[in-house]
Structure 1
Amino acid sequence: MLNFLIARLSLSLPTWRTTQLGFLHHNASFFRYSFSSVANLSQSNQPEKNGGGNFSFTVSYLMNSFGMPAEIAGKLSKWVELKDPDKHDSVLSLFRNYGFSDTQIYRTVRSFPHVLLLNPEHTLSPKLKYLHSVGFSPSEIPGLVSSNPTLLIFSLEKRIIPHYEALKGVLGDDWKVRKCLKNSRWNACSYGVMNIVPNVKVLRDEGVPQSSVFTLLSRGANIAFMNQSKFVECVNSVKEIGIEPFTRVFVDALVVITMLNKSTWELKLDIFERCGWSRDVTLLAFSKVPRIMFFSEQKITSNMKFFVDEMELRLEDIAGCPTILGYSLKQRIIPRWSVVKILKTKGLIKEHVSLNSVIIMSEKRFQENFVIKFQESVPQLLELYSGSRELRPLPEFPTLAVS
């Protein structure tokens, strides 16, 4: 069964995307940039200055209008060249008129700097008006666009409207489509619309409930638009693992299967095998929590090592509740284990307390049941717990200059 599954998983996304993404060659610079790591922006070199020792107009505009650090503005200047401040200012004015906050404009421009080159009247405004016409409220549109700036690259008539109507055809009403698009990505517009109806029929014929179809479209609408033969192959792969189509986890597994090619799948199987799981055990864990295949090697190995060496969990315990692999070692697992160890040492809790439950339990419940409850007995417990958690500060976004 495993060999058959691996054969099924011999997917190459670029192969089935090529025929449907030819038009993107015209926008190659945007897509090369948009998939670059945001972290790389902060790590890039300082922008070059012109002969007079000043920053280029592009860098200066981004710094002055958005408060961008020089290194980030310099990185963006390699992908877009700004020349007309009046035109760029008119784009910002349009966004402000539609209720975009400074933070939302900043995020949009940083993710998609080419937006400053688009015609606000003929290119941007019709798309924003269309979103409003299908029911997105004025307060929803800025959030939708700033989190999905890819939307702005696609033709309204040739891509956005046909894909919206295609989704509506299988989901039934505008509310569901809006909810789907708020949770999903507009990269579904990269694909042709002809496959979604037969692909959804495949799911329904297999017994996948409509609620799960909606979940799939919400998490990755592009999957439903993919080549039908490849889609059927992916559906069969999930079935071969033993996951029943009527279960909620089926579409979760389908999302993972469609996104991993054979080499990546094999790599993840090898990683878990090195940690002590057989391939059958890994597939069993996958059938419970498919997203474990998205975890990095460092996360898998460090968490597994801590569970086994420090918490003395058995490998079968971890496989029985693989969701614990997804939690942060520094933010959640180690701090909670430190509290539990103290309480067990002092005899304040049972020796065989469910460690899985301790990890999965909500933050509020954990603090109530294991920290606040024992503050009188162990006064330093809250301080210990708070201090051991490496809390990350929220990102700050600069205030944009008003033209």
Structure 2
Amino acid sequence: MAETTTVIGLTTILSVNSSFSNSTKTPHLSTGVSAKIGILILLIAFIIGFPGNAFVIWTILKQMKKRTVTCLLILHLAMADIIVLLTAPFFLHLLSTGYWRFGKIICKMCHYVSCLSMYTSIFLIMFMSMDRFLAVAKPYTSQKLRTKKTVRVIVALIWILASLFATTMFVYRGVIVWKDRPQCIALHQSTNHMVFQYTFETLTGFVIPFTIVVFCYVYIGLRLRTAKFQTKQKTSRLVIMIIVTFALFWLPYQIVNMLQVSGEIFSSPSLTNAAKAARPNVTALAFFSSSANPILYVFAGGNFIKTAGVGFMAKLFEGAASETSSFRKFSQVLRQRSHTESVELEKCFEQTEPSKNMLSNQTH
């Protein structure tokens, strides 16, 4: 009976991947040292990240009487992080036992939630960057648009868009029986489907959003570089560190995506095998990004802990919100100064013109 089940599982996976090279027909499972590393990363992520993000959510909902736009964005970022951490027990069981026992629906849902969290996080980070960019580039427009109602609509659209983009996990994830054990793995009908999924995921979940983020902060940096502008350095560094941390944790995962795509396109078994071998650990590393933000908040708000106690995060988030207002005020001052200088220059030209005419008449 066991042999029959294994043959059925093998037949299924081979038929589904009939157009793949031989190296892609075998699911790569984490075993030995690789599994232990994955378990360690997931355990640390869950132990730190779940209570940490829960504390962030509690702080914003209970400790902050006036929730600013920045606080709303940080709240939803923490919500995106905490929902993915709820899937950790399922993946810990998989790594410790070597098989998936929770069925097809839970398999698809766990990977869907992970993908949803990735998209929501990067889109929120992108929106934070665009918000600061607008405060510097178009301060008057920013002041009109930056309302709680507008931000709530945008955040809702972010969740909807992330939910749609993550649906690839329902299509390309499934459970097959391998060596008499069920496995929750990626399933593609052809090489083109695999190339589409990983390329789409990398472009929409990393390359395009981070290009926008980098552009926004390069513009802000150039705008403020020559000005004597004092801002709250801790909160400024905090937002930048959120961006950098997300990039560092997710970049290896996206590189592995492109390695596997390249291996299939150029028929390189070595690239494909390297990508499949690295995927479990880089996935666990990306998972850890969901627990990184609370750690950053603690370090950034260290000075507030002594004075505010458990309310230190509320003080920190209030500072982050006021910083964007400072950007806007600074940009408005620059624009007003530029306008004043232009008006004075025009008056100077108007006064100079009659003098030129009188001198010309005298010459004649």
TM-score relative to the length of structure 2: 0.21
Higher helix content, 1 or 2: 2
Give the structure-1-normalised TM-score: 0.20
Structure having greater relative contact order (Cα 8 Å, sep ≥ 6): 2
